[in-house]
Amino acid sequence: MAKSKLFFFSALAPPTRARAEELELPLCIPFWHITLWNISFIYNLRKPMNKAIYSQTHKGIIEKLKQARIATGLDQKEAGKLLGKTQSYVSKIESGQRRVDVVQLKSFAKIYKKPLNFFID
């Protein structure tokens, strides 16, 4: 009895006729042979990736933002006013509910009178 070979190919790059013949694969699979298990391999389904907002690095950055604000003697309302934003904007960033990008981080560094690398190191 010959051993059967199991190969999976992407739906976008099916095997060529020569490769299929070499591997002794059918060129076409009848629809009644396709199961959800087969489809998951075709589309390479996997767990969703962790979001960067919940990473340790992000938590460290927002903790330093909070420390810098307190060190400068500002409350969230005053910091928001200097940024041209609301108090809830600052609160959501410091609580981790909202992501902070480099441009926003630069604005925070300016009003807190800290170098940009203070928040990253």
**Which pLDDT band holds residue 52 (cuts at 50, 70, 90)?**
low
Q: Can you read off the two tokens belonging to residue 81?
A: 């006013």
Q: What is the pLDDT of residue 78?
A: 95
Please measure the distance between the N-terminal and C-terminal CA atoms of the chain and give it in whole angstroms.
62
Instruction: Reply yes or no on whether the pLDDT at 49 is more than 60.
Output: no
Cα separation of 68 and 51, whole Å? Answer: 25
Give whichever of 1-10, 33-42, 105-114 has the largest mean pLDDT.
Answer: 105-114
- The pLDDT of 80-97, averaged and rounded, is 94
9-40 residue pLDDT tens: 445 455 566 666 666 655 565 655 555 555 55
The CA radius of gyration of the chain, in Å to the nearest whole number, is 27
**Side chain identity at 113, as an amino acid letter?**
K
Cα separation of 89 and 98, whole Å? Answer: 8
Global pTM exceeds 0.75:
no
How far from the centroid of its chain's Cα atoms is residue 47's Cα? 12
Q: Could you give all domains of the chain from N- to C-terminal order, each with its CATH number?
A: 10-46 (no CATH), 52-120 (1.10.260.40)
Q: Can you read off the two tokens belonging to residue 92?
A: 């959501």
Average pLDDT over the chain, rounded to an integer:
76
Instruction: Reply yes or no on whether the pLDDT at 120 is more than 60.
Output: yes
**Which pLDDT band holds residue 1 (cuts at 50, 70, 90)?**
very low
